[in-house]
Every structure is written in structure tokens, then in C-alpha cells.
């Protein structure tokens, strides 16, 4: 999808480490679109796209309410556990994981057809047509006073000079994303650069302003980060998730995180995406260490979508 270019940096002559990287992107920035073809073009050109109209707004509002209720519930149990994450700048935002356990809507959205189409577009074919895997999945709620997350890529492999995307990444906006409430910040065009991130570097970025219920699409090659919430009274909630190749180790081991009872009756596609397969193409490794309840959920990994 991409050819490598150089990202231009100002350097601190004493350390030769880049300290400030100004925006360096020619052409108009992507704007929200309801066209999947336009979104694909934006993704190729700018490294991200904002797709609208992919999901009914009442479904988005319902998920927002469930998320709020779950945060209240978890706050009463252990507020610290959901306050900020390892890569957040402070403890003001809320991070909620284990989403597939919490509500069917949080499971259904993992197999949204547009997300699967875009994952195919970004990652391309797999050997033996084996299913992609959900790599990671959580909710992030910025709150008034939350700081800006450091600009980063979502590449978890630690591989330098990564030649192609290893993850298709998505953010569902459960609130309207505005600069003031912490819209995700993006370095347009950075998906084409061979970036070696150092903590000392400040990247100039722009906010991904998006209506409620948008799907922000990017890859693990794009520089981005949650924005600071400088509003006095507005939260900004999102579902953040990624899909990876079947040979790429997901960040989350879903079959041992998700309660087997919530997966009973789940589609074959959802089971594949969450890694419920005793088989990889050509190999069968029985899940002897798992209980029968879990083993009965296993399906063939050959892409059913
Ligand atoms: O919530 C956001 O705006 C982005 C969060 C993010 O980039 C991350 O957690 O890796
Ligand atoms: Fe990220």
C-alpha cells in the first residue's frame, strides 16, 4: 500500500535526536465521508479516513450508555483499575477492557461488515484464506482535564522499518469528536514514513474531527494519539480496536478472557476473529488444556466472511 518516504525533522545538534517534526502533508485532509471507496482513497493518501453512516446512531447511543453504566460499576469496584492506561499521560481518562463480556453489542460490532471489508483491503490475502484475528479492543473515554497521549504508532511488534501495515485499526466514535474534547490527533501522511519514534520527539498533529458514530480508519503505521480534553464538561468516548494477520500474536488472548457462556451461539466469523480455533492452516493442535466448554466453541479458521 505504501512506499517509504523520509519524514523531515528538525534536529537538536547536540544529540542529533529529532525534537520537533512539523506537519509535512500535501493536499487536502480527509473529511468525513459516507463513501467506502472515498475512505479507502483517503486511507491510501493520508493514512486515515473518517467514514460516517456505517452504523445506526441509536446503536451507538446504546453502546455509549452501556459503557457509561459499566464505568460506574467498575468505579465502585476499583476506580484505579480503569483510570488511565500504561500509555496514557495521566489517570483522568477511563479505559475499559473485556468488552466482549459486557454486552452483545460489543461482540456484534467486531464483525461489522465494513470493518471486515476494510481489514481485507488493508491487510490483503492470508495464506490458505485463514481468518484475521482481533488484536486488541478497549474503550477510551477522555474527560475534562485529560492530557494528550504521546504521539505513537500501534505497532506492537517492536519491529523497526516495518514495511507494511500489520494491523488494520479502527476507532468508533461514541461521542462527537471535537478538538476540545480530545479528538484523536493524527500526523497525516506519516503512514508512508519510516519513523523511528523517540520519546523526545514532538510531532505536530491535527485533530480527527468526526461526527458521532463515525469509524476512524488507520493502520499501525500511522502516528496518532488521543487528544487532550480541554473542555470543561464534555467527555469523548470511543471503541478502539485492531485486527491483525493470523500469524501475528494478538495483544489479547480472548479465549481465556471471554466467558465461554457469552460465546455460545456466536457466529463462526466472530469465533474465528477472537481466535477460537484449534487448527491453523495445515496443523491441528487440540486444546487439551482447555475445558470442554471452551473446546466446543472452536471452529475452523478458514475465513467465513
Ligand atoms: O482514544 C484515542 O483517541 C486513541 C488512543 C490510542 O491511540 C491508543 O490507545 O493507542
Ligand atoms: Fe494508538
Residue 32 dihedral angles phi and psi, to the nearest 5°:
-55, 135
d(CA 279, CA 254): 16
- For ligand 1, whether the C-beta of 153 sits within 6 Å is no
- How confident is residue 163, by pLDDT bands cut at 50, 70 and 90? confident
| Å from CA of 225 to ligand 1 middle | 5
pLDDT reported for residue 70: 98
pLDDT above 80 (res 222):
yes
CATH of the domain spanning 13-250: 2.60.120.620
Looking from the CA of residue 226, the nearest atom of ligand 1 is: 3
Ligand 1 centre from 173 Cα, in Å?
12
Ligand 1 atom with minimal separation from the 227 CA: 3
Identify the pLDDT of residue 194.
81
Query: Ligand 1: does its nearest atom lie under 6 Å from the Cβ of 148?
Result: no
Average pLDDT of the chain to the nearest whole number: 92
User: What's the pLDDT band for 26 if we cut at 50, 70, 90?
Assistant: very high
pLDDT in tens, 165-207: 999 999 999 999 999 999 999 999 999 988 767 667 889 999 9
Residue nearest to atom 5 of ligand 1 (CA): 226
Q: What is residue 246's predicted lDDT score, i.e. its pLDDT?
A: 95
* Average pLDDT for 90-107: 98
Q: In the chain, what is the greatest distance between 2 CA atoms, to the nearest angstrom?
A: 62
C-beta 154 within 6 A of ligand 1: yes
Q: List the domain boundaries for the chain.
A: 13-250
User: Which pLDDT tens digit goes with each residue over 45-66?
Assistant: 999 999 999 999 999 999 999 9
Q: How many residues does the chain have?
A: 305
Residue 279 CA to ligand 2 centre (angstroms): 31
Ligand 1 and 140: CB distance under 6 A: yes
Instruction: State the Cα–Cα distance between residues 298 and 259, nearest whole angstrom.
Output: 14
Residue 214 pLDDT grade (very low, low, confident, very high; cuts 50, 70, 90)? very high
Give tens-digit pLDDT for 100-137: 999 999 999 999 999 999 999 999 999 999 999 999 99
- CA-184 nearest atom, ligand 1: 3
304 and 131 Cβ atoms separated by less than 8 Å: yes
Q: What is the pLDDT of residue 3?
A: 38
Amino acid at each position: 500500500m505504501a512506499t517509504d518516504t523520509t519524514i523531515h525533522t528538525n534536529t537538536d545538534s547536540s544529540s542529533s535526536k529529532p525534537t520537533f517534526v512539523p506537519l509535512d502533508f500535501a493536499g487536502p485532509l480527509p473529511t468525513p465521508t459516507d463513501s467506502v471507496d472515498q475512505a479507502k482513497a483517503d486511507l491510501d493518501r493520508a493514512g486515515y479516513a473518517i467514514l460516517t453512516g456505517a452504523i445506526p446512531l441509536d446503536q451507538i447511543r446504546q453502546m455509549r450508555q452501556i459503557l457509561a453504566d459499566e464505568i460506574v460499576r467498575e468505579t465502585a469496584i476499583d476506580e484505579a483499575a480503569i483510570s488511565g492506561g500504561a500509555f496514557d499521560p495521566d489517570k483522568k481518562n477511563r479505559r475499559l477492557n473485556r468488552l466482549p463480556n459486557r454486552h452483545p453489542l460489543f461482540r456484534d460490532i467486531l464483525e461489522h461488515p465494513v470493518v471486515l471489508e476494510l481489514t481485507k483491503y488493508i491487510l490483503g490475502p492470508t495464506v490458505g484464506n485463514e481468518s484475521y484475528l482481533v488484536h486488541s479492543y478497549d474503550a477510551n473515554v477522555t474527560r475534562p482535564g485529560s492530557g494528550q497521549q504521546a504521539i505513537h504508532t500501534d505497532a506492537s511488534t517492536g519491529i523497526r522499518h516495518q514495511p507494511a501495515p500489520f494491523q488494520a485499526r479502527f476507532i468508533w466514535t461514541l461521542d462527537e469528536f471535537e478538538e476540545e474534547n480530545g479528538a484523536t490527533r493524527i500526523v497525516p501522511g506519516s503512514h508512508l514514513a519510516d519513523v523511528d519514534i523517540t520519546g523526545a520527539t514532538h510531532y505536530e498533529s491535527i485533530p480527527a474531527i468526526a461526527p458521532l458514530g463515525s469509524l476512524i480508519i488507520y493502520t499501525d503505521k500511522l502516528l496518532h494519539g488521543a487528544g487532550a480534553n480541554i473542555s470543561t464538561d464534555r467527555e469523548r468516548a470511543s471503541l478502539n480496536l485492531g485486527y491483525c494477520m493470523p500469524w501475528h500474536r494478538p495483544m489479547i488472548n480472548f479465549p481465556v478472557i471471554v466467558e465461554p457462556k457469552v460465546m455460545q451461539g456466536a457466529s463462526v466469523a466472530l469465533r474465528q476473529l477472537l481466535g477460537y480455533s484449534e487448527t491453523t492452516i495445515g496443523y491441528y493442535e487440540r486444546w487439551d488444556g482447555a475445558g470442554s466448554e471452551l473446546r466446543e466453541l472452536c471452529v475452523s479458521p478458514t475465513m467465513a466472511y
